[in-house]
Structure 1
């Protein structure tokens, strides 16, 4: 079985999706799982930029390094390459489904419910909030990635 290829998707690819990507990469490596992870944004205005400095700060405190990240926009090729595209919210779910090939649209899903998190349904965007919003995102990323790993194992994908 080949390694599953997972993509995390948010609006600008500078806050939520790079955080979840980094947590997933770290936790899956610790669990000895062979999984390809990446992240993208539906918008292009941050393309090439590093992760948001506030997200980097709170992630660093939690032992997560976002310094290598550079924002990228979702492409149709990404939809063909990745097995699952996990949208952080309903808006990015619709945008992601509109970008990928029609035959791959079912592979673009809402992340938190798929990972077994019932509340909140959407991963909140901390961009316009204070540091506490970013800190809550780190805790939610940790919790949701644990659920993601459990589901991948349960479904026989890893």
Structure 2
């Protein structure tokens, strides 16, 4: 069941589309982020060790936000195979590394698309709607911001009104 992400109005306009397939598997969530269009114009991070890495959102990265009973968890999923998870006690408050992990199953593609598959461990107290988003860096260094919803005039994936998709 795919959902489409839209570019933030302040993001550069290009011919890309971004969608996400997802499926709940017990206490895990399988995701497939699909970017279609001129994928050669995207700056793809180089492969690295599949390990927890800080700062992934500064380059091409796919993200998931999951509400919990006492805040939310942010997952950063890089095409490099690096990942990160953070727990927040409130809106952009109390950021700490989360105990849940993510597994990147690789980046695949063809002439006009690229797709990243990943599996995230859901927090035990996951509740309510989730947010899905992407940061796409072009080869000229500009960033575009994609999400299910853009409730503010600046890109803000942490905004509570960005969590709009029911957890499957």
TM-score by length of 2: 0.32
TM-score by length of 1: 0.34
Considering fraction of residues, name the structure with more strand: 2
